[in-house]
A and B are shown apart, each in its own frame.
Chain A
């Protein structure tokens, strides 16, 4: 049977607050109900809420579904239902094949056991047979890079080592269906890179994959389709970039479907010299679109603008308007403008989006499509921003150039 994963009209209800969780509370409550004197608390507002409302999708072999949304939108609930940790209140979750989850990869670790013992324990919890763990043991340890601490109790591990070992075990599952939560943020930058490479390898291996992440760039890169959840309901589904754009616009507080603003419309956003740039280098963004203000003049404060977001957090890191740079609002026909940024930011993934800004009301009026860009590491970048310092040294006594060589010869 080919692996397959589907949600069919899934609903999930949760209760707010605590139910009776001791017999001491439950028995008197039941007695009161029997006598017909239900306590007043039941007459208050509904104590339940729907965490998921009517969610349907299917993921076939070779498809990668991304689920995005704000905190509390229902992403984690969807994952827990997928992973059979919870049952839906209504609807059906169907999974054909062994599910492997890259979620909470070190949840089963026991602090008093050694790394070696925990590999077998966690492997078994994730559904691997003992022989399978034994066969892959060297690979797992090799990937984690903690060979020297294998016989040390896990309680002496740093949190990074813990996560690295956990991820390495999960990364050696060979599931039919793969579920990935935001486990990417483990370990140092080098390990994150390695982990993401592994995830990419697993996700593109042909199994049905569901990926939940706040790292929108990962969604854009890996997914073949996406769902945007909002308060438990589907707000958008389809192409990943479409959902990501809707999500980002939602973050800005503007209505959905804004890129066609009636009288001005963004068409395309491109980076003709590539979407990847080394940190500190320039990147040029070309924005095209059409404007039509023949019948009515544009509002007075409108100006073209562009903003840059950190794709991992959706936080705005930079914005600039045409008003500040002496570029007027296009009023008729096709327009095109080029914006060059010097990317003095940390290496990482960013998204650039054009918009129309009302400088009088300070509101975003129209938002164009977002373009993901990647800032690569050029030099080790330790701090928050680069300041392009220029150095002069009018007064400085330095060692002569051959100083080291001379002293070495003398000592020899």
Chain B
């Protein structure tokens, strides 16, 4: 067999080209989203109430964790920190739910990928976007519950919109990478589940940074998911602008920085970088999809 004499072709589209193509496929993303949402809520008896199950479970897990910590350190749990737990459960529930769905999305539609051409990115992107109604519902519930437990609503809560949009971008980047990884290596979804179960401890969902002291909080806030999650506590529960630093003290110790303006830039950088890397990795790999499917 003579070897091919022509140089191999690769999928090396620039990121601008990819985004332009995706923009052309926006109706397809919407159709996939509608399909995913319709199917999910047609099957769940509780309908949109289902959207609250995950955040409530996370809050319960967090409460158990905090009660244990409080008992060990002989301190009490304040109402604000419970509300903070709920506000922080919202982005985490979205992140872990969207990644779980998106990671399996490409493999579960392998049949379609092997038969019809369309912008493949639309599958994982739509499966992330299809989690957005859940995100909105749980956020609205938090905003309704806050006044009921004696906390006031703040204008600064609007920062949540910015932060959550950045989170969607960040999650989409991961979704692109993991969905195609799962097509090539079928055990990625199990590894993801284990990582998500333990990964929650690498975020401020259960912790408050001031509990960890100066050094500990610096490390915690530098972890990639922290700015998205911590911002919800700072903006929605404490009502502080994300453009100002915030320091809090815990149990009479010296105040510890729990928010700094650079974290907003950090979140934006992470979101854009992940989305960019995700798009490029996905596109490079997409030439092999039909053969793996």
Select which of A24, A103, A121 is within 8 A of B187 by beta carbon: A24
Q: Known contacts being A121-B31, A124-B31, is A88 close to B117, with CB within 8 Å? A: no
- B:104-140 near A, CB below 8 Å: 111-118
Select which of B4, B31, B32 is within 8 A of A11 by beta carbon: B4
Are B9 and A21 touching (Cβ within 8 A)? no
**Would you call B39 an interface residue if the criterion is a C-beta within 8 Å of the partner chain's C-beta atoms?**
yes
Are B9 and A103 touching (Cβ within 8 A)? no
**Would you call A127 an interface residue if the criterion is a C-beta within 8 Å of the partner chain's C-beta atoms?**
yes
Cα–Cα, bound, A101→B118 (Å): 11
Q: Known contacts being A108-B116, A124-B27, A127-B118, is A90 close to B4, with CB within 8 Å? A: yes
- Chain A residue nearest to B109 (CB atoms) is A108
B interface residues, tally (CB under 8 Å): 38
Q: Known contacts being A124-B31, A130-B27, is A88 close to B9, with CB within 8 Å? A: yes
Are A112 and B42 touching (Cβ within 8 A)? yes
Are A125 and B118 touching (Cβ within 8 A)? yes
Are B114 and A90 touching (Cβ within 8 A)? no
Q: Known contacts being A121-B35, A125-B28, A125-B118, is A90 close to B112, with CB within 8 Å? A: no
Cα–Cα, bound, A21→B186 (Å): 6
> Which residues on B sit within 8 Å (CB–CB) of A26?
185
**Would you call B64 an interface residue if the criterion is a C-beta within 8 Å of the partner chain's C-beta atoms?**
no
- Chain A residue nearest to B191 (CB atoms) is A23
**Would you call B22 an interface residue if the criterion is a C-beta within 8 Å of the partner chain's C-beta atoms?**
no
Query: Using an 8 Å CB-CB cutoff, how does the interface string of B1-42 with A read, 1 for contact, 0 for none?
Result: 100111111110000000000000001101110110011001
Cα–Cα, bound, A20→B184 (Å): 8
- Chain A residue nearest to B4 (CB atoms) is A90
Query: Using an 8 Å CB-CB cutoff, how does the interface string of A1-31 with B read, 1 for contact, 0 for none?
Result: 0000000110100110000111110100000
User: In angstroms, how far is the closest chain A Cβ from the Cβ of B68?
Assistant: 34
> Which residues on B sit within 8 Å (CB–CB) of A8?
6
**Would you call A50 an interface residue if the criterion is a C-beta within 8 Å of the partner chain's C-beta atoms?**
yes
Are B7 and A90 touching (Cβ within 8 A)? yes
> Which residues on A sit within 8 Å (CB–CB) of B8?
88-90
Q: Known contacts being A85-B290, A104-B115, A107-B112, is A91 close to B4, with CB within 8 Å? A: yes
> Which residues on A sit within 8 Å (CB–CB) of B1?
50, 53
**Would you call B188 an interface residue if the criterion is a C-beta within 8 Å of the partner chain's C-beta atoms?**
yes
Cα–Cα, bound, A23→B183 (Å): 11
Cα–Cα, bound, A54→B5 (Å): 9
User: In angstroms, how far is the closest chain B Cβ from the Cβ of A24?
Assistant: 6
- Chain B residue nearest to A10 (CB atoms) is B6
Are A126 and B6 touching (Cβ within 8 A)? no
User: In angstroms, how far is the closest chain B Cβ from the Cβ of A380?
Assistant: 35
Are B4 and A120 touching (Cβ within 8 A)? no
> Which residues on A sit within 8 Å (CB–CB) of B34?
117, 120-121
- B:245-293 near A, CB below 8 Å: 287-288, 290-292
Are A87 and B185 touching (Cβ within 8 A)? no
Select which of A9, A50, A103, A124 is within 8 A of B5 by beta carbon: A9
Query: Using an 8 Å CB-CB cutoff, how does the interface string of A122-136 with B read, 1 for contact, 0 for none?
Result: 001111111000000
Q: Known contacts being A50-B1, A92-B9, is A21 close to B27, with CB within 8 Å? A: no
Are B111 and A99 touching (Cβ within 8 A)? no
Are B291 and A21 touching (Cβ within 8 A)? no
Cα–Cα, bound, A112→B44 (Å): 13
Cα–Cα, bound, A124→B25 (Å): 8
Q: Known contacts being A85-B116, A89-B8, A90-B8, is A124 close to B185, with CB within 8 Å? A: no
Select which of A21, A85, A88, A112 is within 8 A of B115 by beta carbon: A85
User: In angstroms, how far is the closest chain A Cβ from the Cβ of B84?
Assistant: 37
Cα–Cα, bound, A111→B91 (Å): 32
**Would you call A84 an interface residue if the criterion is a C-beta within 8 Å of the partner chain's C-beta atoms?**
yes
> Which residues on A sit within 8 Å (CB–CB) of B28?
124-125, 127
- A:268-306 near B, CB below 8 Å: none
Residue among B35, B42, B116 with the highest chain A CB neighbour number at 10 A: B116
User: In angstroms, how far is the closest chain B Cβ from the Cβ of A98?
Assistant: 10
Are A91 and B9 touching (Cβ within 8 A)? yes
Residue among B9, B31, B38 with the highest chain A CB neighbour number at 10 A: B31
> Which residues on A sit within 8 Å (CB–CB) of B39?
110, 112-113
Cα–Cα, bound, A120→B191 (Å): 36
User: In angstroms, how far is the closest chain B Cβ from the Cβ of A394?
Assistant: 62
Cα–Cα, bound, A54→B292 (Å): 23
Are B186 and A22 touching (Cβ within 8 A)? yes
Cα–Cα, bound, A76→B252 (Å): 73
> Which residues on A sit within 8 Å (CB–CB) of B188?
23
> Which residues on B sit within 8 Å (CB–CB) of A117?
34-35, 38
> Which residues on B sit within 8 Å (CB–CB) of A14?
291
Are A125 and B185 touching (Cβ within 8 A)? no
Residue among A15, A54, A85, A103 with the highest chain B CB neighbour number at 10 A: A85
Select which of A23, A86, A92 is within 8 A of B6 by beta carbon: A92
> Which residues on A sit within 8 Å (CB–CB) of B115?
85, 103-104, 107
Are A125 and B292 touching (Cβ within 8 A)? no
- A:190-243 near B, CB below 8 Å: none
- Chain A residue nearest to B8 (CB atoms) is A90
> Which residues on B sit within 8 Å (CB–CB) of A364?
none
**Would you call A83 an interface residue if the criterion is a C-beta within 8 Å of the partner chain's C-beta atoms?**
yes
User: In angstroms, how far is the closest chain A Cβ from the Cβ of B25?
Assistant: 8
Cα–Cα, bound, A157→B114 (Å): 24
- A:20-74 near B, CB below 8 Å: 20-24, 26, 50, 53-54
Select which of B31, B38, B116, B292 is within 8 A of A101 by beta carbon: B116
User: In angstroms, how far is the closest chain B Cβ from the Cβ of A48?
Assistant: 10
> Which residues on B sit within 8 Å (CB–CB) of A121?
31-32, 34-35
> Which residues on B sit within 8 Å (CB–CB) of A127?
28, 118
> Which residues on B sit within 8 Å (CB–CB) of A90?
4-9
> Which residues on B sit within 8 Å (CB–CB) of A80?
290
- Chain B residue nearest to A123 (CB atoms) is B31
Q: A21-B186, A108-B112, A129-B27 are in contact. List 13 more A-B contacts (CB 8 A).
A: A9-B4, A11-B4, A14-B291, A22-B186, A53-B1, A87-B288, A88-B8, A92-B6, A104-B116, A124-B31, A125-B112, A128-B27, A130-B30
Give me 12 A-to-B residue pairs in the complex whose CB atoms sit less than 8 angstroms apart, sorted by A's number: A8-B6, A9-B5, A22-B186, A22-B187, A85-B117, A86-B290, A87-B11, A101-B117, A117-B35, A124-B30, A125-B116, A127-B28
A-B pairs with lowest CB-CB distance, top 8: A90-B4, A87-B287, A124-B31, A104-B115, A11-B4, A124-B28, A22-B187, A107-B115
